[in-house]
Chains A and B, each alone.
Chain A
Amino acid sequence: MKKLNNKGFILAETLVVAVFLMVIFGMLYANFYPLIGEYEKRENYDDVDGKYAAYWIKRMIESDAYQLEEGKGDYRLLNRLGYTRFSCLRITDKSQQDMCKALVKELGVSRCNSAGDLCDIYITRYTLSYGARSDSKPTPPNFKDQAKSNTSTTRVDELRQVYTSGNDVSKTSDSMQLCCGYEYSSRGYGSDTAITCKINNANEIQPGATVDYQDLYEHPVGVEDAQKTEVVKYCYGRLMRKAFLSPTKDYILSLPNYTIMHEATKAKYRIIVVLYHTRHIQHQSDSSENEEGYYSFSTMEVIK
């Protein structure tokens, strides 16, 4: 009789080992591959150009000409929202204001309009975990939570809110519907940023029509003079809230909380600066490259 060979593996054993190894390698791959994307994303976090851009913005905020005072406009937004936005219009000195506009334009600060306003430069408390969590009664809200819950997923932000005649903007009405919209230019800075206002009554404007923000402030369409301040306040308030682009949110959430304040400097504030780089696109030697711009992010403490 032929002698049985007991060496080797049976088919079932081989299959079990093979499946086990495949699962192990699959798990390793699934955990490893996203890290490559994370690494590529962080290439533009706190780079040298961004740090110097933040430095010059910091110097402007720290100068006496920049208005950031307790009890006034932006400071109240800082308390209520947990952040406010840098604006060249806050600089009282004309020549410094003009310099500010030129600086934010040449730096390529994201989403600035031609007046150096509504830029993607956020002024918040030094400690990013300052404030209550959004699930309780926040005063002020936690900045990171604000970034998480106020992120726009597209480049065109449309904030559709309902406005009523009179001063009470919370009630609905059939007579008038106001849409506050803010279109960002595809390059992040340019002249085509505006508020699109659509009124759902006899004064309806076609979709896509744009109204200059300054003009809207002076002559809001379909709104009586007595109500125009309310319209602007309401739209601006909503605009300030829906502030963060998704890449900006990712950067903000990646930052530490900076809970330990430097005793020497006692910095009270922190700025987050978002730049959108496009200068390299116009210098492409090959027009078929069709490169997109790219964002870079940086943060710096501010002493004021």
Chain B
Amino acid sequence: MNTKGFTTVEVLVCFVIVSIVMMTMFSTISSFNDKRIQESNRAKIYEFKNEVTNVIQEDIVKRGILFVNITTSGSLVPQAGVPIGKTYSMDITFGDGTQKTLEVYQRFTKTEYRVQGTPDESDSFAIYYGPSNNMIEYELPNLGSTSGSYVGSEFKAADLTGSCDGECKTALDLQINNVEMYVTDEADPEVKGHVLVIYIGFYHPEFGTKYAIDIVAPMNYQASLVESGDKFATNDSTQYSNNSIYYPDPESGT
């Protein structure tokens, strides 16, 4: 009799043990893979957000903001035959006299996915910045979405906004969820506005609304780095000490 090899029972037992180990490992490895994809998406969002923030903030730091003109058009309320979307536009005049424009498009249409190149009605979410005759598009990263299903061979993304009755093209990519552009105290006749705020909030099914381009910068700020002869408005240099609270040193009393 040949005593080499394994019996049937031994093979079956080994098979069962290996199956159990693999099933346990699979869930762990699968979770690590999901984590890897999530971190990759997060890194792409950061990269995009930092790129746009740096471009705009560098202009503000180097040139200073003189004044801005903000306009919005469009609506996110569904209307028959009208693409749902808003356009936010900000014309910035800098202290050195140059001008640049920031435009943010928020569109939901029934046509194909975003067309690259010059802005048009097919664009879903887009950010443009630069001189008005030569704006550069800052393309939102393609992160994909887990919400949706296949209809035939075509993947139909979920209607995440709930406002398009299933007919909207909801991008697979990162969405621009909310846009705020304003200047604080703009209505105050004594000042030309204190602080400029540009908030472009993103939405992604994995991260919610956590990430955004959030630019806050002072207006008309006369800073030491500015060269003389710049076109900054002068600030009121009146001493204002009445409302200042001077906190004495608690231990020496002076």
Which residues does A use to contact B, with CB under 8 Å? Answer: 47-49, 52-53, 55-56, 59, 62-63, 73-74, 76-77, 80, 89-90, 92-99, 102-103, 106-107, 117, 214, 217, 229, 233-234, 236-238, 240, 277, 279-281, 283-286, 289, 291, 294
CA distance A233 to B246 in the complex (A): 10
- Min CB distance A279 to B, Å, is 6
Q: Is the CB of B209 within 8 A of A285?
A: yes
Chain B residues with a Cβ under 8 A of chain A: 46, 49-50, 53-54, 57, 61, 160-161, 177-178, 184-185, 190-191, 194-195, 197, 199, 201, 203, 208-212, 214-219, 221, 223-225, 235-241, 243-254
Contact of A63 among B194, B223, B238 (CB under 8 A): B223
Assembled-state Cα–Cα distance A63/B46 (Å): 32
The 10 closest A-B pairs by CB, nearest first: A237-B250, A94-B240, A102-B194, A283-B178, A99-B194, A102-B195, A280-B209, A76-B249, A95-B236, A102-B184
Task: Assess whether A103 is in contact with B238, with CB atoms less than 8 Å apart.
Answer: no
- A selection of 9 A-B contacts at a CB cut-off of 8 Å is A49-B53, A56-B217, A63-B224, A98-B185, A99-B219, A284-B209, A285-B161, A285-B177, A285-B209
Least Cβ distance of B125 to chain A in Å?
14
Beta-carbon nearest neighbor of A53 in chain B: B216
**Interface residue from A53, A77, A97, A102 paired with B185 (Cβ < 8 Å):** A102
A52 — nearest CB in chain B belongs to which residue? Answer: B57
Query: Are the CB atoms of B177 and A52 closer together than 8 Å?
Result: no
Closest Cβ of chain A to B232, distance in Å, is: 13
What distance in Å separates the Cβ of A61 from its nearest Cβ neighbour in chain B?
Answer: 11
A-side binding surface: helix, strand, loop or mixed?
helix
Instruction: Give the Cβ gap from B31 to chain A, nearest Cβ, in Å.
Output: 12
Would you call B194 and A55 a contact (CB within 8 A)? no
User: Is the CB–CB distance between A93 and B249 below 8 Å?
Assistant: no
Which residues from A are CB-within-8-Å of B184?
102, 106
Residue on B with the closest CB to A107?
B216
Contact call A92/B248, Cβ cutoff below 8 A: no
Q: Is the CB of B53 within 8 A of A48?
A: yes
Known: A73-B247, A97-B240, A280-B208. 9 other contacts (CB 8 A): A52-B215, A52-B217, A56-B217, A93-B238, A99-B191, A117-B245, A237-B250, A280-B209, A285-B209
- Distance A89 CA – B21 CA, assembled complex (angstroms): 65
Cβ contacts under 8 Å, B185 to chain A: 98, 102
- The residue in chain B whose Cβ has the minimal distance to the Cβ of A49 is B214
Give every chain B residue within 8 A of A283 (Cβ-Cβ): 177-178, 201, 209
